Chain A
C-alpha cells in the first residue's frame, strides 16, 4: 500500500511538472506582455528595458529554470495588473471557484448516484423513465447555455434568483445548477449501467443463492462494485467542472479563477496565468491521488498488487 502510494505520488509530481512546462511555453508563444504593460507611445528601447528587468530577454530554458526555483519557494512572480504576488491573486479567486465547483459536484453525486442505483434496480420503472429524461435534459446543452436560459427564466421572468454576483446562497443556486446538472446526468448514467452490469454478475447470483436479503445485495454487494468506475469518473468530473466554471463564472459574474484566467490571458498577465494553471494542476493531481487512495481502500486487488 505504501509502495503504491509513493509510486502514485511520484507520478503526480511528474504530471505537475509537465503541465507547468507546457503552459510556460504556450504563454510565451501568444504574445509579448511588454506591449500591454507599457503605454502605446513607449519606444522599443523602453520595452527592451522592461524585458531585461523582468528577465524576459533570457533564453526560455533559463526562464523556466528560474520559474521552477521560485516555485520551490512558493514564489510565482508578481502580477503587473494587480501589482502584488500572483499567487495571492489566484488564491483569492480560488475560494469562490471551489465553492462553486464543489457544491456543483456534491449536487451531482447526491442526485446522480441514488438515481442511478434506483433506476438500475427497477429498470424501466417510473424512476428509470424519469432518470432518462433527467439525463437527456442535463446533457442536452453545455453549461454556459443553461446559464443563460436560467437567467432568462429564473431571474428575469420569475425573479427568484439574482442574475449574478457573489456572497449569498441565492447567488450560488443558478450557477451550481448549471454546472451540477450536467455532471449529475453523467454520474447517473454511469452508475446505472455499472449497477446493471454488476447485478447481472455471477457473484450477485451466488449472494442471492445464499439467501442474502435484497437490500444487502443492492447496497453492500452490488453498489460497492458498481461504484469503482463511478469514483474515477467523478474525479474526472471535477476537472471538467473547473473547465466549465470558466464560462459559468463569466455569465454569472462570479469572482472565481475562471474569470480571472480570462481577464489575465487577454491582458497577457502571464504570471497570474502561470500561477493559476500551476495551482490547478496541483489541485487536480491531489484529487486524483485521493481518488487512488479511496480506490485502493475499496478494491483489494489494487491494495495488494
Chain B
C-alpha cells in the first residue's frame, strides 16, 4: 500500500465557547486526518462537538467561540494561523462545506443564479454577466437540477428542501474543491431524497478525488458511505480508524455501546441496549474520561485521569481508553485468527 498524505490534518484542536454557563471547552484536543478520495465519518451525539470541530477548522466559529490551540494543516498550510482574508480565499475554492438545514442556508432575497455566480465573481473575478450565467448553468447541471437554465432566476422559496440542498452543493463544488465538509447534509430531508443526495455527493467525490468529512449521527449511513470514522464524545475523539475495522471490532466502551444500540439483522426482534445515562453537559465535564460515569467497565483511574491514546496498525487505529490493551488481549484470546489476520 502506497502511503497517501492526508490533505487535511487537524492536530490537537481545542475550542472554547462562551455561553450562558460560562466558558466551556467544546472541542478538546481533537485530531483528525482526511485523505483525498476518502470519506471520514465524524460520528457523535448532538453536543459532542462535531459541528464546532468543523467550524473551527474553517475559521467560521461564531463570535462566542475561539480556537485556542491546535493546528489545521491543509495542503501544507496551517489554516489556524491565516487571516480572515486569506481564509476567504481558500473557502469556497479549495474547501467547501454543506450545512444541515437546506431550508435556511440560502439567502431568501437573492436568486439561485446570483448565489451560485458569487463563487465565480469573488474567486475568479469574472464580471461578464453571460459568462457568469453560463457557468452557473453548468454547475446546476452538475448537481442534476433539471431545466437548469430556467431555474437560475428562481428564488430559494420556490425550491423544495432537496432542490435547495442541491443548490447548496452546487455552490460548494462549483470550483472543484479538494475538501468538502458535509455537516449532516441529509438530516433535514425526506428519506427518499436523502439517498439521492448521498449518491450525488459520492459521484462528485469520485469525479474530483475529493476528500470528504461527513458529520452524522447515523451509523448505518456512515457504514455505507464512509471509509474512515472518528467517534466523538463530550468534545473528544474517543476512537478512530477505518470504518470496517472500528465497526467490526469496536474497542472503546462508548463505541461498543453505540453499536449495541443499533437494530441489525442479528439482533432483530430482541430488545436494543441503550447506553445508560446522558452525555455530560460541557459545563460539567469531568476531569477524567468523559464517558466514565456511564461506562460499565470504568476504574478509579478512568475517573481521575484522561486516557492516553492507544494506537496500533501504524497509528491508523486509535482508542482513548485505559483498558484498551486488556480488551485487545481478550479479543485475541477469543479469536486469535481474526486478530492476527489484521
Contacts and interface: CB of A to CB of B under 8 A. Distances in A.
Interface of A: 123, 200-214, 216, 221, 224-225, 298-301, 304
Contacts of A299: 108-109
Interface of A is mostly: helix
Contacts of B62: 200
A207 B107 contact: yes
B215 interface: no
B104 A202 contact: yes
20 contacts: A202-B99, A203-B104, A203-B108, A206-B107, A206-B168, A208-B91, A209-B172, A210-B96, A210-B118, A210-B119, A211-B89, A211-B90, A211-B92, A221-B107, A224-B109, A225-B109, A300-B109, A300-B155, A300-B157, A304-B158
Q: Pick the most buried of A205, A209, A212, A213: most chain B CB atoms within 10 A of its CB.
A: A209
Given A210-B171, A211-B119, A304-B155, A201 B104 contact: yes
B101 interface: yes
Nearest to A196: B63
A300 B155 CA distance: 7
Contacts of A300: 108-109, 111, 155, 157
A209 B59 CA distance: 9
A195 to B, nearest CB: 13
A301 to B, nearest CB: 5
B123 interface: yes
B96 A209 contact: yes
Given A207-B118, A209-B60, A225-B108, 13 more contacts: A200-B62, A204-B107, A206-B107, A208-B88, A209-B58, A209-B96, A211-B88, A211-B93, A212-B122, A213-B122, A300-B109, A300-B111, A304-B155
A75 B101 CA distance: 59
Nearest to B94: A211
A300 B97 CA distance: 26
A80 to B, nearest CB: 54
Interface string B213-253: 00000000000000000000000000000000000000000
Interface of B: 58, 60, 62-63, 84-85, 88-93, 96-97, 99, 101, 104-111, 118-119, 122-123, 155, 157-158, 168, 171-172
Nearest to A222: B107
Contact of A213 (B88, B93, B104, B172): B88
Contact of A210 (B84, B85, B91, B104): B91
Interface pairs A-B: 6 shortest CB-CB: A211-B92, A210-B92, A300-B155, A202-B104, A203-B107, A211-B91
Nearest to A225: B109
A294 to B, nearest CB: 13
Contacts of A206: 99, 105-107, 168, 171
A221 B63 CA distance: 18
A298 B91 contact: no
Nearest to B119: A210
A216 B85 CA distance: 13
Contacts of A207: 107, 118
Contacts of B84: 214
B182 to A, nearest CB: 12
A81 to B, nearest CB: 52
B109 A205 contact: no
Contacts of A298: 109
A225 B91 contact: no
A301 B108 contact: yes
A74 B298 CA distance: 89
A297 B214 CA distance: 39
B244 to A, nearest CB: 31
B243 to A, nearest CB: 26
Contacts of A204: 107
B90 A202 contact: no
A206 B103 CA distance: 12
A198 to B, nearest CB: 10
Nearest to B109: A224
B118 A212 contact: yes
Contacts of B63: 123
B101 A209 contact: no
Contacts of B118: 207, 210, 212
Contacts of B99: 202, 205-206, 209
A132 to B, nearest CB: 17
A75 B17 CA distance: 68
A301 B109 CA distance: 8
B104 A209 contact: no
Nearest to A227: B109
Given A206-B99, A300-B157, A212 B88 contact: yes
Contacts of B123: 211
Nearest to B110: A221
A213 B91 CA distance: 10
Given A123-B63, A300-B155, A301-B157, A211 B105 contact: no
A209 B104 CA distance: 14
Given A210-B92, A299-B108, A202 B101 contact: yes
B155 A301 contact: yes
B216 to A, nearest CB: 18
Nearest to A303: B155
Nearest to A207: B107
Q: Pick the most buried of A123, A200, A211, A298: most chain B CB atoms within 10 A of its CB.
A: A211
A273 B84 CA distance: 60
A300 B85 CA distance: 32
A239 B118 CA distance: 40
A209 B171 CA distance: 10
Contacts of B92: 209-212
A225 B89 contact: no
B58 to A, nearest CB: 7
Contacts of B58: 209
Contacts of A211: 88-93, 119, 122-123
